[in-house]
Amino acid sequence: MSRKLVTGLRTLPYCRQPVLRRDYELACYLIATPQGHILINTGLAESAPMIRAHVEKLGFRFSDIKILLATHAHYDHVGAMAAIKKVTGAKNDDQ
């Protein structure tokens, strides 16, 4: 379940993926603003469709994501960044 932490900041539901025969959970955060949204953490490469579904279920347009950020550069936090960037045209912190 999504939680509204402060105005404009929502946690996405956990992105559950089987990794090493156990569930993998990554907290993804969406900061919604009128100028475009910021997505923090993208999970594994396979997480992109799940993240898109969660964003849209919250009532936001996936294409409104303008900035991609990661808490740190581990594969389980940035794996889907390229795929999401390709679909949304969002900028990430290396641009």
End-to-end Cα, the chain, rounded Å: 32
Q: Which residues pair with 51 in a beta bridge?
A: none
**pLDDT band at 57; cut points 50, 70, 90:** confident
DSSP summary character for residue 52: H
Checking if the pLDDT of 4 tops 60, the result is: no
For residues 15-41, average pLDDT: 74
Q: Which residues pair with 84 in a beta bridge?
A: none
**pLDDT band at 64; cut points 50, 70, 90:** very high
> The whole model's pTM is what?
0.77
Domains and CATH numbers, the chain: 3-92 (3.60.15.10)
